[in-house]
Each structure stands twice: as C-alpha cells, then as structure tokens.
Structure 1
Amino acid sequence: MSNEKQGLPVGHDAGRGAYVLAATCDLNGCFRGKRVEAASLDKILKNGIRMPMSSIGVDIWGTDVFANSLTLDQGDLDGICEPTERGPIPLAWTATRAQFVPMWMRAETGEPFFGDPRRTLADILNRFRAVQLTPVVATEVEFYLIDPKSPRAKPLTQMPVGHADAKDTIYSLEELAEVGPFLDDVYAMAAACGVAVDAATSESGPSQFEFNLVHGPDALRVADDTVFFKQIVRNMARKHGFAATFMAKPYPAHSGSGLHVHFSIVDAQGRNVFDNGGPEGTVLMRQAVAGLIDAMPDCTALFAPHLNSFRRLCPDSLAPTTAAWGYENRTAAIRIPGGPAVARRIEHRVAGIDANPYLVVAAILGAAIDGITRRAEPPMPTAGNTYASDAKSLPATWLAALDLFEQSAIVKRIFQPKLIEMFSTCKRQELAVFNRDISDLEYASYLHSV
C-alpha cells in the first residue's frame, strides 16, 4: 500500500517507527488503543485490532460505565477496530520514532458501531450524500498554554499584580513571538500528519491562542484533523517545557476556549447552496439555521459535555447563552459572517474546545440537514445583544442539558440509539462523581462556621 494511499506525506516511510500506536477516539475525545511492534504494522492495517466496545464509552477517568448495555448486559463484547482511510501518521507521543494508526470500530458482524463518535459523523454525512449535498467544514481551535508543574491553571504570561486585564493579549504579535519555536513545531508536525492549518492568533486570555484549520469538503477528515491537532498541540507543548489545556474555562476571570465550526453546503455541481448573490443568503441557508436553532438546547450536552463547560457559557462573554442567530453578530450562537457571497457560510459558536469534535460536527450537520428536510423557518435574526434578547435560553447546568438531551425528539431524529445511550450513561456517571465530591471551598466555608 503506497504512502499516498495511506494519507502520508510524500517520501514518508510508515514502517520505520520503533513501534505503532493503534487507537480509536472515545466519547470524550480521548484516544484509547494499543502499542504494538512496528513489524506488526501490515497486520494491523489488514486485520485491525480487537477492543471491547465499551472502551469507547468509558468516562473521563477511563472507568467502565456499567449503566450502558454493553458492559454487563452483553458481556463486554469485543468490537473490531479498523484503520480509517487516513492510514498511519507520525503522531508520536514521545521522542521515540513511532507511527499512529487512527482506527474506528465496527461490530463483529461487520455493522458500524454507532457508539463510536467517528461512525456517528459518517452516518450523518450519508444523509447529505443521499440528497447529493456536501458540507464544506472548517474548525477554529482555542487553547491555553500553562505551567505544567502547577496543580491549577497557571499562565506562561504573568499578569501584572492588581489588574488581571492590564496586559492586552488579543492579536498580540509579541505574545506570538514569545512562543514562536512552539508555533513553528506545531505547523511542522501538522504538515507531517497531513493536517492543513491556516492562521494562528493570540487570543484575549493570558497565553491563550487560536489556530484556524483549513476548510474542506470532507467533514470526516476535518474532524479527524481537529482531533489530531489537539494532540499535536499537547505533544509540542510538552516538548517545549510547558503544557496545553483544552479546558473550556480554566480561569474564572478570563475568556473560555471554544471550538467554533464554520460550514457551507455545496450541490452536485459544486455550487454553494447558501449563496444567493447577496448578504442575506438563500432560503435553504435559513432552513439550515432553523434546524440549528431548534436542536441547539437539546444538543447542548454535546457542545458542553463537562462540568467545567458551563462556566464558559455565561452572559457578556461572547460565548452564547441563547439559541439566537444573526448576521455578523458575535454575541449570537449562530453567526452569518460577511464577505463575498460565494463564500456565504454559517458559524456555529456554542461548542467548547473540551467537546468531542466528531460529535460537535455531527450535531451541527445533523441539525442542519434536519432543518432543510423539514423546510423549517428560523426566528428573526438578532441584530444587537443576544444576551438581552427573548431567544430561547440554553440549559445553564450540566444536569439540565443531559435531561434535555435524553428526552429530545430532535436528538432521536439526528442520532442512533446506541450513541444516545452511551453518551448519556457516560455523562451521568461523571456527574455522579462530581456530585459526591466535597470541594476545598465547601470546607473553607462550612467546616468551622455552621
């Protein structure tokens, strides 16, 4: 099998690594897999590896979720992890030469396993193919660089005492220059892995950065790239002596980190079906917006899948709290950017960077095609401050978001039952652990005072 067919850079030898890491992406966006000797690469590419299906649904700590039907009721069956069409990439976790083989899971019977988030996105994309439409997708990845030795988030850039916002960091060329060698290595590793990266910017938080990934007509590859890119950033940060965090809100007083998704849709002739020659976009675009607005509260659990996620979704933060849309309005959850009509697109601004990119893109595209299929009508666009509008509120807590997700008829139209079951049971288990914990603040407040 040629390097070109395997998706490797020209001239790269996939077999020269000292070992091979083969892994799937679980519901939390974490890699789960095995290390094997490099001599077994061909065998893995041909036959895949066996792993318990339940391994994709473990909680954030890697603990089995016993409430789903796989672990106990079905005897913890194995699935078959097959190489994706991407093939091996040089995404090593250490200085030792290695290859990473991204996998996705199917059942032993050969059927797709829809507990796998990548299979879920592929299922959504099949619905677009059935009507000869193709989403063109791009992502924006935000993160903080932090001191790896601190138990709490501590920025590389120290803020002046007494004034947390005294240093202007947004779009700061100085802050980009301070981590220039790190950025160079991120670009180099991304290129080696076939991940197309565009601009890097300094964001408003201390040591916060954003990368724009290049848009493309293969949404599955774009989601792959986003998952790989997060690991590239982690690896390169470690190499340079610091760490990268993808928490949605690591600092109470500073900006959260989002995973914004831009998309348009092209028809069989390659024409952007959102483009009507003007700034307002087509009827079909508004139908897609309507689908996104309708599904947004019920899908918030996917866009904000952790306890910390909801610290980001707060008023007056440029992170949305309502299911509103508008033209060139960054307070809105759905923004229609300006620019040339031929590039008319939708920006979805709800997800935090802590969310699973496969599930985020699947929820967005699934809601869009649902709105188009139903010929749904959106509410009026909001021109001003959406935090003060009468748009429907997003759930404000993790529990409320999970309740909506589980009860939603829209979610059941978009997702397969296995994905809904596995995601819900995973998140319920995580929530129960946090609910049992007694924080330092609780002890400080109550231990000697009540």
Structure 2
Amino acid sequence: MITSCRDRVFMPHADLPADVRALLDSWPDLAFIEACLVDINGLLRGKRLPAGMIDRLYTKGLNLPASTPLLDIWGQEVEATGLVLETGDADRLCRPVPQSLRPMPWSRRPAAQLLLEMIDDDGSRFAGDPRAVLAAVIARLAERGLRAVVATELEFRLFEFEPDPAGRPVPAHRATAPGRRSQLFGLEELDGLDDLLGEIEAACAAQGLPVDTLISEQGEAQYEINLEHVDDALLAADQALMLKRTIKAVARRHELTASFMAKPFGDSAGNGMHVHVSLIDEDGTHIFAADPGSDSRLMQCVAGLLETMVDATAIFAPHNNSYRRFLPGSHAPMAPSWGIDNRTTAIRLPLAEPAATRIEHRVAGADANVHLVIAAILAGMDHGMREGLSPPPETRGDAYSRTDATLPDAWGSAIDAFEGSPFVAAYFGSTFRDWYVAAKRQERERLRRIVPAAEHDAYLRSV
C-alpha cells in the first residue's frame, strides 16, 4: 500500500523490519524522523529527515562524520582525535539500531525517533561510538557465558525556564515554595506536578520505556525516576538515554528546564545515577544467588569494581562540575568502599531475597554517559572475576568517616588516571581511551580560561 506523508509518497519496502512496518501503518500522518547517535557526553546528535526517507534509512543507512560521537560538550570538534582535519572530516556509515524506532510523544507534529550505531570502514562497530564500547564489554562477559541484568536510577531537578537576573538557575516554583527544601519521599511534592509527571509517564509508556517508581528527592524541585531491570545491558543503557531525553522534552513543553547536571548548587543535593547489576548464566541462573560465600563471584565482582574505580572515575564524573558532588555526607562516595545495605558506600549490596541479590553502584553522577558508565561497571566486574579478586572488609556505619577519600577529587587527576590505566586500555580500547582523553582535556582547557564570578567576589578587591 502506498502511504502519503505531507508532499512525499513512499512505499515501505517488504524487507523492512516487521516492527518498522507495523509502526508505519499506525502512523499514517508521520511528518519526520530524528535519527540519533549518542556521543561521549551522552548527548544525542544526528539528523531530522522527512518521513518518506525511512526506507532509505533502513536499506542504505545514514552518513555522519566520524568526529560526531567525539564532539565536546559545546558541540565543537576535537582536532586532537585526528578525526577532523587529518582525515578531511570523513564520514562513517550509521545504521539504525534494531527495535529502536519509537514515537516522539512530545512533538507538536507526528514524529518518530530512532537510535543509530556508527560502522567503521571494515564493517565493525566504530571505536568512538559509546554503544560500541559497551557492546565490546558485553561480549567479554558473554565469553564467560554470562549476561548482565541492569536497572538505572536517575535523579534530576526542575528549574524555571529563565534564570534569575544574575544568571543563576531558579528551582521550579510549582514544585516547591521558593527557598523551601523538598520533602524526601514527599507525596505532596508529586501532587503539585501531576500534569507534568503524568505526561512523562505517558510518553514513557508510548515508547515502551519500563518506568518503575518515581520519588521526590532531598533537593529543592529534585526527583528520581527508576527503570525496571532488563537482561540486556545495551537496551538498559538505551532506555536510560531515552528516558533522559523524554524528561527534558516534556519539561520544555511545560516551560521548565529539566537538568541532570551533577551539582547545580554547592549547598544542596546533587544528581546521581545509581546502577543495579546482577549476572545470569546461559541457563538463566542468577549466579549471585547460586554462589554465596566470601569467595563467591559476587565478592569477586565487588573487588573488581573497587580496584578499578579510580581508573574509571573520569567516566563516572565526566565534567568539571561532577566533582562538586563528592562531599562528606552527600550520598556521593569519596572512596572505593562496599557495604551491605549501606548508602554511604560506593558499592552497596541491598537487602533482598536471594533471587534479587545485586550490586548497586553509587558513584556516577546523572550527568554521565550511561552507556560508558555501564561499560565501566561491567568491565570492573569482569576484571574481578578474571583475576579472582577478594574485596577488603565490609565498611559498616559511616563510610565518609571510616575511609580515606581516595577517589580523584579533581577533573584533571581523573583524566590522568584514565589515560594511564591498563584496565581502561584493555576494556575500552586504547583508541577510544585516547579520543576520550583528548575531548575531556579540550573541555577542561576551555573552562580553565573562564574566571567564575565567585573568584571575582573573593579576590578582585581583597588582594
């Protein structure tokens, strides 16, 4: 059947995936498609195409410069990667991620979105694509006959669309009274935003995003949305990525800004991303539940995560602002530590029935790239099992006072640790490592040239 779309006419090819054909049949007025590639900062970049080109997307793909997934936070090319002038800013082919075509419920016109993965000249996944990094770590686990079950928890804050006269963000008035802290787990905090939150929930349902719970957090106009566990780590990362996009897009429709910035205010709670992980074998057996004990694979995974945490901090805290989260008593860990049902530790083992035994990784900020965060976590777990590591004793009580703060407390130190890590080279690849370091150093150098207002206030007249 020929389908009309605006002034274009196209006939979906018979060899298009069945899910794509079914969605096209249900969207006769589809206006456009956004084809999206995730970059190292977790931002989506790509192209908007007329709906009539969807068949070409699936049969021929889409070309984007190889530098695209390695752009800095401002969308600037990173010449130190060698992917810009030295190559003539050459293209790479991008293909749709299977099963990723979804509606964009927030769009004022009927629209769809799909994820892309970048392909290198030899047909393999492009080394600079964060999805490729995660896929490679998943393959390492698969060699051991293991598959990860993953869920994410994302914290964010809502702000008025316009800042105050000094340019500072203003917490959303309709969420809490100005100057009033949010009530942790407060239900009235949710009632006041029922229209917005209901629209987010509906948009997630339309996209098949498995939203679990929603709570009010400690910070003013701060919330957390959790996703359900899925036994496909790449899908879990994709779902978290699209959840962030959904929250930000729906907030814009309500004339608000949703932000996953790690620490918008120095004296208030930051935004974290907690990742829950367990492992199953080829028979679907939950290996953490089936293998208890001090020398179990659960303990090996914990040990691997602790041993590699410093090396991976540049992934968990990828921006200058990220390091403002790491303060005593802030529920952001400052050292590699673990504990049972202890939220002051970096690695928490929640109290649960055996079938739900899992690791909760509490280091990353909500500003981090979720694909790279999950890759670093799974890589640390695999490293622990391959080396047969054992963790130090469990931390009981307040980890902030009982452990020395040994995680990098500055961006430059974290980048240096990432660059010099054999673990990073082994699991992320030396090529990606070098490109990531180049991008982060470019961002850092630009910010170092900006003198913040607080320094003018402190020093301009006093020294």
Q: What is the TM-score when the length of structure 2 is the normalising length?
A: 0.92
Q: CA deviation at 1:387?
A: 1.2
- Note if contact 2:37-2:44 (Cα within 8 Å) is conserved in structure 1: yes
Structure 1: how far apart are the matches of 2:355 and 2:294? Answer: 10
Letter in 2 for 1:54: S
Structure 2: how far apart are the matches of 1:343 and 1:223? Answer: 20
Q: Deviations over 1:234-274 (max 9, x none)?
A: 11111122110110011112111111000100111111111
- Selected match of 1:389 from 402, 407, 413: 402
Structure 2: how far apart are the matches of 1:220 and 1:281? Answer: 30
Q: Which residue of 1 aligns with 2:9?
A: none
Letter in 1 for 2:271: S
- Note if contact 1:281-1:344 (Cα within 8 Å) is conserved in structure 2: no
Q: Which residue of 1 aligns with 2:265?
A: 251
Letter in 1 for 2:119: R
Structure 2, unmatched stretches of 5+, are 1-13
Q: Which residue of 2 aligns with 1:411?
A: 424
Structure 1: how far apart are the matches of 2:310 and 2:138? Answer: 22
Task: After TM superposition, list the pairs within 5 Å mapping 1:161-200 onto structure 2.
Answer: 167-200=181-214
Letter in 1 for 2:93: I
Letter in 2 for 1:286: M
Task: After TM superposition, list the pairs within 5 Å mapping 1:29-428 onto structure 2.
Answer: 29-91=42-104, 94-150=107-163, 151-157=167-173, 167-276=181-290, 283-390=296-403, 393-428=406-441
Please, which moves more after superposition, 178-187 or 352-361? 178-187
- Note if contact 1:274-1:282 (Cα within 8 Å) is conserved in structure 2: no
Structure 1: how far apart are the matches of 2:151 and 2:75? Answer: 30
Q: CA deviation at 1:319?
A: 0.7
Please state if 1:19 is matched with 2:32.
Answer: yes
Letter in 2 for 1:251: F
- Note if contact 2:424-2:430 (Cα within 8 Å) is conserved in structure 1: no
Structure 1 pair 160/17, CA: closer, same or farther in 2 (3 Å)?
closer
Q: CA deviation at 1:75?
A: 2.8
Letter in 1 for 2:231: P
- Note if contact 2:106-2:250 (Cα within 8 Å) is conserved in structure 1: no
- Note if contact 1:324-1:391 (Cα within 8 Å) is conserved in structure 2: no
- Note if contact 1:65-1:426 (Cα within 8 Å) is conserved in structure 2: yes
Q: Deviations over 1:343-391 (max 9, x none)?
A: 1000000000000000000000011011111111111111121112245
- Note if contact 2:176-2:221 (Cα within 8 Å) is conserved in structure 1: no
Structure 1 pair 181/160, CA: closer, same or farther in 2 (3 Å)?
closer
Structure 1 pair 8/413, CA: closer, same or farther in 2 (3 Å)?
farther
SS in 2 for 1:254: coil
- Note if contact 1:52-1:77 (Cα within 8 Å) is conserved in structure 2: yes
Q: Which residue of 2 aligns with 1:438?
A: 451
Q: CA RMSD in A?
A: 2.1
- Note if contact 1:8-1:192 (Cα within 8 Å) is conserved in structure 2: no
- Note if contact 1:6-1:87 (Cα within 8 Å) is conserved in structure 2: no
Structure 1 pair 323/9, CA: closer, same or farther in 2 (3 Å)?
farther
Structure 1 pair 70/337, CA: closer, same or farther in 2 (3 Å)?
same
Structure 1, unmatched stretches of 5+, are none
Q: CA deviation at 1:39?
A: 0.5
- Note if contact 1:274-1:281 (Cα within 8 Å) is conserved in structure 2: no
Structure 1 pair 168/142, CA: closer, same or farther in 2 (3 Å)?
closer
Structure 1 pair 296/271, CA: closer, same or farther in 2 (3 Å)?
same
- Note if contact 1:275-1:282 (Cα within 8 Å) is conserved in structure 2: no
Letter in 1 for 2:168: R
SS in 1 for 2:86: coil
SS in 2 for 1:6: helix
Q: Identity across aligned pairs (percent)?
A: 38
SS in 2 for 1:297: coil
Structure 1 pair 128/330, CA: closer, same or farther in 2 (3 Å)?
same
SS in 2 for 1:383: coil
Q: Following superposition, which runs of at least 4 residues in structure 1 exceed 6 angstroms of deviation? A: 1-4, 7-12, 158-161
Structure 2: how far apart are the matches of 1:82 and 1:400? Answer: 36
Q: What is the TM-score when the length of structure 1 is the normalising length?
A: 0.94
Q: Deviations over 1:150-193 (max 9, x none)?
A: 132211248778xx6x6451100000001111111111111111
Letter in 1 for 2:342: N
Structure 2: how far apart are the matches of 1:5 and 1:316? Answer: 51
Structure 2: how far apart are the matches of 1:10 and 1:239? Answer: 25
